[in-house]
Amino acid sequence: MSKEIKTIGVLTSGGDAPGMNAAIRAVVRRGISQGKKVVGIKRGYMGLLAGEIVEMRSHDVSEIIERGGTILQTARCAEFETVEGQEAGAKMCRELGIDGIIVIGGDGSFRGAQKLAALGINTIGVPGTIDLDIACTDYTIGFDTAVNTAMEAIDKVRDTSTSHERCSIIEVMGRNAGYIAMWCGIANGAEDILLPEKYDYDEQKLVNHISDNRKRGKKHHIIINAEGIGHSVSMAKRIEAATGMETRATILGHMQRGGSPSCKDRVYASIMGAYAVDLLCQGKSNRVVVHSKGDFTDFDINDALLMTKEISEYQFEIYKSFAM
């Protein structure tokens, strides 16, 4: 017989992502509509261990769907990576009367959810990360907003780069995944994209490409550099020395995590949050909500964490055919 869920906890963990508030709102309102009590857990697993919870009613999530960040705050918690921390978290759930938890975050957050599930706390994961690096899903909350933020910033850098006939290296976020870089590279018409999954660290190829383009009369050169490669400032100095072309590095940084979420992030996050509540109400546990092949479904967290994700070879080949 499945465990009856009376109280649902919701937390955000790891890096924040635009659309997390939409997911929180969905969890609260869907949960209440199903007759459940919903509590917010502050500061992720750190807040769970400290017992930082607050009951959330419908009006508590009014006018948050359009806000970036997370009203519950978020943090990374090294203690929760230990067996002792995980057991303490499960014990705290029982003491607080939390029957199930919805965890909004990335792979690291799901590992914590996996451990809680193994300790008898029903858990559902909702993918919230701008990096798009969760293998079991085609969509993660925040990616759409982040990539549009980066795209708009790169457009502006291109304007001034063209005016001054410069080479611009623009570093985007994504940790060790190159999805923001790939999408921006195509959307912004970059001459070169450096992806952790593909880059061979042969800067002479970049130098040759810049030199060849200048001979053809091109006045600027845009290089999108993924965070997983980094070192954009020192790279710019080396390229300027090798080509004689003024080269500037721009690191977009955490602006990509902020801002009002896009329509897609608001809608998809809302659906995923509601879906997570429905799974808990069905007695499910150790599942992650995903968007795959055009629809919303769910995966076993154990299986999801074993999966790997690669850059599309076809998309990468398309970029290369455009990069002239």
- Give me the pLDDT at residue 323, please: 83
CATH code of the domain containing 111: 3.40.50.450
Q: 297: part of which helix (H) or strand (E)?
A: strand 295-300
Which pTM value belongs to this model? 0.95
Same domain, 138 and 14: yes
Q: Could you tell me if residue 162 is inside a domain?
A: yes
Residue 202 backbone class (left: φ over 0; alpha: ψ -120 to 50; beta: rest): beta
Q: Could you tell me if residue 324 is inside a domain?
A: no
Active site residues: 131
Same domain, 65 and 125: yes
* Beta carbons of 140 and 129 less than 8 angstroms apart: yes
- Based on the number of CB atoms within 10 Å of its own CB, is 62 exposed (0-12), middle (13-18) or buried (19 or more)? exposed
Total Cβ atoms within 10 A of residue 51: 11
Q: What is the DSSP string of 57-76?
A: -GGGGTT-TT--S-TT----
Q: Could you tell me if residue 96 is inside a domain?
A: yes
Range of the domain at 59: 7-142+261-306
Which single residue is written with the structure tokens 């509601």?
Answer: 274
Strand partners, 10: 40, 102
Q: Which residues of the chain have pLDDT under 50?
A: 1
Same domain, 286 and 154: no
- Give me the pLDDT at residue 1, please: 44
Q: How many domains does the chain have?
A: 2
The 10s digit of each residue's pLDDT in 235-278 is 999 999 999 999 999 999 999 999 999 999 999 999 999 999 99
Q: Could you tell me if residue 315 is inside a domain?
A: no
- Give me the pLDDT at residue 3, please: 76
Question: What's the CA gap between 277 and 102, in Å, rounded?
Answer: 8
